[in-house]
């Protein structure tokens, strides 16, 4: 991603100063960094990272921030056409576990969005898992994950998240099926941002393939097979690999919110 290379943003000197301040005050420096980047606060379980760990993660921090800024700029332009005014989500980076308005978030959950506080929560360690466990390396695979979570913020602003939760309460037997539709829509919305990024010249030739590989790698069916379990469609919550790829492509090719109606198809 030539327009979002790791290396822009806050510098190593700033990272070091934040690390020293955090270690002296007992605050987790990784949370302080999210505040410098404009993200929300948050409590992080476990000991604070060392200055060396923060320096090592600096490129990841900068990259996540750059992708989030790019995606939010897209939605400021796109969302009025969807019937809502866009307001920025906040970014929280964490290690291992974090308290959110939606309860305790843990690494095992992966990245998540909390509508209660309108924050995107990213555990940087998930990117290692994405590459090593799911076989989805590359900058744009990581960008896809961020854009997907921000897609949930868009759904929240459009009222989709509330409507889905209400429908799930009325009809518990459709809880998983509705969850799949909502997750696939977030994939499509991630594709809408990718379309904008491509139009702006921010993508390398192989970036879309990285995103498609990431979408396929975290399909419910593939995850169940990799765990040695029987593929159980009734337990799906995010959709199959084929569905996730298809909906991302739909958003990427169209660049419109209207193309992402997973509930009407």
Secondary structure (H, E, C), 141-153:
HHHHHHHHHHHHH
Indicate the helix (H) or strand (E) that contains 93.
Answer: strand 90-94
Residue ranges covered by each domain of the chain: 2-260
Exposure string of 48-86, with b = 16+ CB inside 10 Å and e = fewer, is bbebeebeebbebbbbbbbbbbbbbebbeebbeebebeb
CA distance 240 to 207: 21
8 Å CB contact between 117 and 84: no
Predicted pLDDT at 184: 94
Predicted pLDDT at 89: 93
Identify the three-state secondary structure at position 166: helix
**pLDDT tens digits, residue range 40-82?**
433 333 455 566 666 666 777 788 888 899 999 999 999 876 6
**pLDDT tens digits, residue range 77-133?**
998 766 788 999 988 887 777 888 998 887 667 789 999 999 998 887 777 776 776
């Amino acid at each position: 991603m030539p327009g979002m290379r790791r290396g822009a943003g806050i510098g190593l000197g700033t990272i070091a100063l934040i690390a020293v301040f955090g270690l002296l005050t007992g605050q987790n420096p990784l949370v302080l960094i999210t505040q410098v980047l404009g993200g929300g606060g948050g409590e992080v379980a476990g000991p604070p990272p060392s200055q060396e760990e923060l320096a090592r993660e600096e490129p990841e921090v900068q990259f996540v921030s750059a992708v989030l800024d790019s995606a939010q700029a897209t939605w400021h332009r796109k969302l009025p056409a969807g019937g809502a005014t866009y307001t920025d989500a906040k970014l929280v980076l964490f290690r291992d576990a974090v308290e959110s308005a939606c309860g305790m978030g843990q690494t095992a959950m992966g990245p998540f969005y909390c509508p209660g506080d309108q924050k995107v929560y990213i555990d940087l360690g998930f990117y290692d898992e994405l590459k090593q466990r799911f076989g989805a390396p590359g900058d744009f695979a990581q960008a896809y994950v961020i854009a997907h979570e921000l897609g949930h913020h868009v759904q929240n602003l459009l009222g989709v998240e509330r409507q889905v939760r209400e429908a799930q309460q009325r009809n518990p037997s459709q809880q998983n099926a509705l969850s799949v539709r909502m997750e696939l829509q977030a994939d499509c919305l991630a594709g809408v941002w990718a379309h904008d990024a491509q139009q702006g010249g921010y993508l390398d030739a192989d970036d879309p393939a990285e995103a498609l590989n990431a979408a396929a790698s975290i399909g419910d069916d593939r995850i169940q097979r990799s765990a040695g379990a029987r593929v159980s469609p009734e337990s799906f919550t995010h959709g199959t690999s084929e569905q996730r790829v298809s909906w991302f492509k739909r958003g990427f090719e169209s660049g419109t919110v209207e193309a992402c109606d997973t509930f009407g198809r």
